[in-house]
């Protein structure tokens, strides 16, 4: 029996941080290693243009940086197909065709559209491309007849729209697209050094590539329980971001030891963070080694992406043959 297909993408934001690693990426890797799925993961560089069309200077470098982090984290080209959206022109064709059947009202009521337009008010996002973002995303997904789409909750409205567009296509032209399921994993809520959500744009992130003194200093700068001003104040580990990180990186013994020690003020935050920095450095060790390897061998990255583009392209071409036929838009003259 053919394996169920999984598809997901990320916009090329450059280096990934630990929030990305324990959020989206680890979910992707779990699905890859599960064995029953055929995973397709891609860099959504056309999607980057929807909000950054005026500043495209870093998209290329960001794409490579992100691919390095994917490989370092454990995405394995022998198991997953890794590709770049703009290399598969069929995404643009399917996007165009889906545009024809997507009511504008569906796009205008998309909550992420409204939110992003307000949030990114310094950019002019009153473009056709930005409104059409979810149609391009729908094309990405149904192109591969994906059964499951691992995404964060922020992407749920887009997957919901994809489902509606797929149903509409099936109704109008014939049942060829499975209706994709969003796959939401439980992810730990990791905060940045300043206690806000970890984000590259807040300048509060610990990057996957951070190591040595940089890593130690960042861990040392992390916000702790705000009520714990002095070492003699009892702390509340359940409210402390450092403790959340311990649960990801330290041994179970350390984790059970730290909570009561914090509550009874017998361990200080400086010592607690020192131990965390050591655990993170150790846990990230294999990832850093793989990163070094790929930085030394950019030709391997190129070969991996080229191979992924070929594999994805084969599926995309087959889908478009079907779509053109059903829409009566193939003309053999």
Binding residues (CB under 6 A) for ligand TRP: these are 7-11, 44, 47, 137, 140-141, 149, 151, 155, 158
Structural tokens at position 5: 């297909």
Binds ligand SF4 by CB under 6 A, chosen from 262, 279, 280, 287? 262
What gap in Å lies between CA 286 and CA 302, rounded to an integer?
22
Give me the residue label for tokens 């890797």: 29
For helices 241-249 and 252-263, the axis angle rounded to 10 degrees is 160
Stretch touching ligand SF4 by CB under 6 A, among 22-30, 163-171, 188-196, 232-240:
232-240
Closest CA relative to residue 8, chosen from 228, 185, 203, 267: 185
Structural tokens at position 178: 């499975």
For helices 59-73 and 45-52, the axis angle rounded to 10 degrees is 140
Is residue 73 at the binding interface for ligand SF4, with CB under 6 A as the rule?
Answer: no
The answer to whether 129 and 53 are in contact (CB under 8 A) is yes
Give me the residue label for tokens 């905060």: 191
- Shortest Cβ distance from residue 79 to ligand TRP (Å)? 19
In the complex with ligand TRP, which residue's Cβ is closer, 116 or 265? 116
- Shortest Cβ distance from residue 266 to ligand SF4 (Å)? 9
In the complex with ligand SF4, which residue's Cβ is closer, 195 or 286? 195
Residues forming beta bridges with residue 4, ordered by sequence position: 37
Stretch touching ligand SF4 by CB under 6 A, among 21-29, 113-121, 202-210, 236-244:
236-244
Is residue 277 at the binding interface for ligand SF4, with CB under 6 A as the rule?
Answer: no
Closest CA relative to residue 318, chosen from 108, 9, 90: 90
In the complex with ligand TRP, which residue's Cβ is closer, 133 or 249? 133
Give me the residue label for tokens 């409204």: 114
The one of ligand TRP, ligand SF4, none whose footprint includes residue 269, by CB under 5 to 8 A per kind, is ligand SF4
The one of ligand TRP, ligand SF4, none whose footprint includes residue 243, by CB under 5 to 8 A per kind, is ligand SF4
Binds ligand SF4 by CB under 6 A, chosen from 42, 243, 249, 294? 243
What gap in Å lies between CA 71 and CA 51, rounded to an integer?
26
Give me the residue label for tokens 């994805």: 312
The one of ligand SF4, ligand TRP, none whose footprint includes residue 137, by CB under 5 to 8 A per kind, is ligand TRP
Stretch touching ligand SF4 by CB under 6 A, among 51-59, 269-277, 295-303, 313-321:
269-277
In the complex with ligand SF4, which residue's Cβ is closer, 159 or 269? 269
In the complex with ligand SF4, which residue's Cβ is closer, 183 or 240? 240
What gap in Å lies between CA 235 and CA 289, rounded to an integer?
36
Binds ligand SF4 by CB under 6 A, chosen from 37, 225, 284, 304? 225
> What part of residues 205-224 is at the interface with ligand SF4 (CB under 6 A)?
224
Alpha carbon 272 to its chain centroid, in Å, reads 30
Binding residues with ligand SF4: total (CB under 6 A): 14
3-state secondary structure labels for all residues of 214-264: HHHHHHHCCCCCCCCCCCCCCCCHHHCHHHHHHHHHCCHHHHHHHHHHHHC
The site for ligand SF4 (CB under 6 A) is made up of: 224-225, 228, 235, 237, 240, 242-243, 258, 262, 267, 269, 272-273
């Amino acid at each position: 029996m053919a394996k169920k297909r999984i598809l997901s993408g990320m916009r090329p934001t450059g280096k990934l941080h630990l929030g990305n690693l324990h959020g989206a990426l680890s979910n992707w890797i779990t699905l890859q290693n599960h064995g029953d799925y055929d995973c397709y993961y891609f860099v959504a560089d056309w999607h980057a243009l929807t909000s950054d069309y005026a500043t495209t200077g870093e998209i290329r470098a960001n794409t490579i940086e992100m691919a390095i982090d994917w490989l370092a984290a454990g995405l394995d080209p022998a198991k997953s197909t890794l590709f770049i959206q703009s290399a598969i022109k069929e995404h643009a064709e399917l996007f165009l065709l889906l545009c024809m059947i997507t009511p504008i009202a569906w796009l205008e009521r998309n909550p992420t559209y409204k939110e992003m337009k307000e949030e990114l008010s310094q950019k002019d996002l009153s473009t056709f491309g930005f409104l059409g973002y979810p149609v391009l995303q729908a094309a990405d997904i149904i192109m591969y007849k994906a059964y499951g789409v691992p995404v964060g909750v922020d992407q749920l409205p887009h997957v919901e729209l994809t489902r509606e567009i797929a149903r509409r296509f099936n109704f109008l032209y014939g049942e060829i697209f499975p209706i994709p399921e969003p796959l939401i994993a439980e992810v730990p809520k990791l905060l940045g050094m300043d206690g806000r959500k970890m984000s590259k744009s807040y300048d509060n992130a610990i990057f996957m590539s951070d190591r040595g003194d940089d890593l130690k200093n960042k861990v040392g700068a992390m916000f702790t329980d705000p009520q714990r001003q002095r070492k003699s104040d009892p702390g509340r580990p359940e409210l402390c971001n450092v403790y959340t990180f311990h649960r990801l990186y330290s041994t179970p013994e350390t984790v059970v030891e730290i909570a009561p020690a914090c509550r009874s003020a017998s361990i200080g935050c400086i010592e607690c963070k020192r131990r965390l920095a050591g655990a993170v450095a150790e846990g990230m060790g294999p990832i850093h080694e793989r990163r070094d390897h790929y930085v030394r061998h950019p030709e391997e990255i190129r070969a991996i992406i080229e191979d992924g583009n070929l594999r994805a392209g084969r599926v995309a071409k087959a889908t478009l043959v079907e779509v053109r036929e059903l829409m009566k838009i193939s003309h053999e003259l």
